[in-house]
Amino acid sequence: MEEKQKSGKLLEVKDLHVSFFTPAGEVKAVGGISYDLNYDEVMGIVGESGSGKSVEAYSIIGLLQSPGKVVGGSITLEGEDVLAKSKEEMIDLRGNKVAMIFQNPMTCLNPVYTIGNQLIEALKAHDKKVSKEEAAKRAMEMLELVGINNVEKRMKQYPHELSGGMRQRVMIAMGLICHPQLLIADEPTTALDVTIQAQILELMKDLQKKTHMGIIFITHNLGVVAEICDKVSVMYAGKMVEQGPVDDIFYKPGHPYTMGLLRSMPRVDAESYERLIPIEGTPVDMLNPPEGCPFAPRCEYAMKICLQKMPPYVELGENHRAACWLRVQEQMAKEKSGQADAKAGSQTENKEAGDHE
């Protein structure tokens, strides 16, 4: 299982646009997002329902269903352009280089086939030469790796004979059986109860350390993000509003939406009388997105410009950026004072230089 550790860029998404062409009009589900993911790195994508986080992930693995379509941008995986691949090449890529696990383990396994059958099938789809015995052996090894005991019996069982947590472990085993470089986990813990959630997260962290694969972890649970991710992208209405290392996002959020998310999350250290503060308003109607910043209508700091123009990204620290006019203002103010400082500095320098003369 231990693989040679690769380093560097695993996945690069650049200015990705995904639209759904519905009878009511074009829905820009993903409106130009960019990020990099390195080997051995876990990135969280956070956002509320309908923010485009799943759609964005589906386009990486080529599972976008009609009427969804990638309309712009690029996705590069290990130096290869994913969007240029043919249908057959995509079939070969899925489950092999990129694996995906889904939200609801109760419905994601086919009820009429045994666990063993479904695991072996995943392996055989990409390794035609593997013998039946070898495939079964590897399937059992995978089941053991994800913490399932009594594997020989489990192989012959049907999904309905296993609990939800167990099924999610099977899903993970199925995803990892071909040793993918990238695992996309679409809310893998959302449908599980909290204790099982913790177990599954622990397992994923553990497996990630063993395999050094990159993981994209889609969730709307910031607690989960804090638990497992190295960096976070916050999505709102198809746009990436903030991106950065996990600590920066939690302790120095730069976008009002991120701040809102953090405030609406229950905290263990909170005073008992403290109430959670929800984000006011409702998500954007994606058919008629507002001009300017999509969060502006709900934003307590909204200014005139927010409703007119989408803010550019502002670097807030190393690999930490946010798209918000507030931060743009701050930066401009800083630059001004910086320039003033610099001017003053150069003047004094000049003076000193002059003094020397």
Given the rule CB under 8 A, which residues bind another protein? 61, 63, 91-96, 99-100, 102, 104, 107-113, 121-122, 125-126, 158, 160, 171, 174-175
> Closest distance between another protein and the C-beta of residue 151, in Å?
19
Answer for the pair 228, 46: CB distance below 8 angstroms, yes or no: no
Nearer to another protein, 70 or 237 (CB): 70
First to last CA, the chain: 70
What's the CA gap between 309 and 286, in Å, rounded? 17
Nearer to another protein, 183 or 316 (CB): 183
Nearer to another protein, 128 or 275 (CB): 128
27-to-35, 194, 237, 240 alpha-carbon distances in Å: 22, 34, 11, 16
> Closest distance between another protein and the C-beta of residue 125, in Å?
5
The single residue listed with the structure tokens 């759609």 is 55
Nearer to another protein, 58 or 325 (CB): 58
DSSP code for 63: -
With CA atoms as reference, report the closest residue to 51 among 216, 237, 234, 285: 237
> Closest distance between another protein and the C-beta of residue 109, in Å?
6
Answer for the pair 45, 56: CB distance below 8 angstroms, yes or no: yes
> Closest distance between another protein and the C-beta of residue 214, in Å?
16
> Closest distance between another protein and the C-beta of residue 94, in Å?
4
Nearer to another protein, 214 or 244 (CB): 214
Answer for the pair 32, 17: CB distance below 8 angstroms, yes or no: yes
How many residues does this entry show for the chain?
357
Angle (CA) 233-237-243 rounded to 5° is 15
What's the CA gap between 261 and 275, in Å, rounded? 14
329-to-54, 91, 296, 325 alpha-carbon distances in Å: 32, 47, 16, 6
> Closest distance between another protein and the C-beta of residue 53, in Å?
16
> Closest distance between another protein and the C-beta of residue 100, in Å?
4
> Closest distance between another protein and the C-beta of residue 68, in Å?
13
Nearer to another protein, 65 or 195 (CB): 65
> How many beta carbons lie within 10 A of that of residue 118, not counting itself?
19
Nearer to another protein, 128 or 209 (CB): 128
71-to-20, 61, 185 alpha-carbon distances in Å: 10, 15, 24
What's the CA gap between 287 and 33, in Å, rounded? 18
Nearer to another protein, 45 or 172 (CB): 172
